[in-house]
Structure 1
Amino acid sequence: DTLLRRCYTNMLAAFFGEPATGACEEGARGPRLQEAPRALGARDEGGGAWSNGGSQAEPAALGMYHPPAAFPAVPHHSWQDALLLQVKDLAKHKDSIYFKDSRCIAIYDAYPKATVHLLVLPRDTSLLSLDCATPMHLDLMQHMSQVADRIVAHLKAAQFRKLSFKVGYHAIPSMRLLHLHVISEDFHASERLKHKKHWNSFTTDFFVPSSQVLATLEREGRVVMPAAKYKALEEQGLECPLCHAKFPTIPSMKKHYKLCYDKVRQ
């Protein structure tokens, strides 16, 4: 079995090319919690948040968006692995979980950059980043995207009718374990959005829509994010994504953006 597994791994590496870093190989040594593809409407053990009440999958009640007052502390030296730690110990982080099924979880972002900010994480802890994604992960990532879209539809109907949302990945993530952002676009409303990198990571092409990632993976068999291109986007000056006006500081940028956003959303 070990020999066959190594041969299969080498075959995939030869076909798809090596990942950008050794992170994928390191993650592959961790537990693989995803065992088999499942339809979105498949019944989750323990009663998941999705039910299959007929010929089509229908979402059960997801509840209100209500982040916890505090999050479990993460050792400073382990902050890049905070998402991995949550997936590996769901009981400890149960208050941080907005949704879960057998294939993924959605958690409240501990440092929300807008009124609503959730992260959809795979329960397969070997999928550390987009660099690690292969066609074998396509079904799982499609499921994650479907979950994100369902959450957006629910939150817009139940709580946040005046907000717009976006669903996507950071081209160069700061934390290990693939995470899909579900975020409202009222970036002016967050006290946690303090730096130029924060702003640019959500308002430029540094934020890659989930649909674009899935299309690339399906078409090309992998997702490559050129570091130089995306680091330049992260470091560029502050600009309003709605009218393209430029500003020197985050406070002035957010003050303008509130007016622009409210006008567009009227």
Structure 2
Amino acid sequence: MSYADQVFISMCKDILENGCSTEGEKVRPKWPDGAFAYTIKKFGVVNRYDLSKEFPALTLRRTAIKSAIDEVLWIWQRKSNNIHDLKSHIWDEWADEDGSIGKAYGYQMGVKHQYKEGMMDQVDRVLYDLKNNPYSRRIMTNIYVHQDLHEMNLYPCAYSMTFNVTKRSGEEKLVLNAILNQRSQDVLTANNWNVVQYAALMHMFAQVCDMQVGELVHVIADAHIYDRHVPLVQELISRESYPAPVFWMNPEIKDFYDFTPDDFRLDDYVTGPQIKNIPVAI
């Protein structure tokens, strides 16, 4: 069984057995038929993944690695807030007639800020510090910008990354670790998608900064399973699990802005069948 499967199964069981139900409470999300979308939720879920040991792709069902990486590059590399720059259609519900999702996600990554070293956006600041000040305790990003929330079509869910560099005894290369902070997560549809995205992002940053990958710590304030997802999750976590796939990333890429989704693949990726037609709350 892959470690990602162990973490996912344990988290889902904990939510289902010990979570808090929002049924009958005042909630914002609704199903497409207009019914309120209630959840079973847990507060403060923390999952840790040692990326030096295996890549955390779920094997209970397939996670589309190229589509996941395309979205994280859309935000972090292309710094776009327009769905026309994205191959998948996961953001279509939140886009306006021009394809914009407002001042959200990639827009915030592209905003330049004044630092003593000059004008940089948040991504370039991270890369600058990892290369020049790796032991800094201030290497972080934040896209939950309150002054712009009213112009975002969806408030950021995964909103902050904090990077921290360590070193293993007897080794020369530094080790890149990170914390992903997420205010809210639909566990069935998004959990492993986000884990795979940010694991890949750490691999990218580590490679272009000549580091090794270390731990990804995923902190979820509100980890929830929607009411109509409960039987789907119960079936999913009862499935057979397989060994973790082998992660491959093009070793020739030395500039973060040169990566494309075609520079990644998961070899020996054996999974259970995909779950189709998952209802999505809006």
Superposition TM-score tier, normalisation by shorter sequence: under 0.3
* TM-score (norm: length of structure 1): 0.25
User: Could you tell me the TM-score, scaled by structure 2's length?
Assistant: 0.24
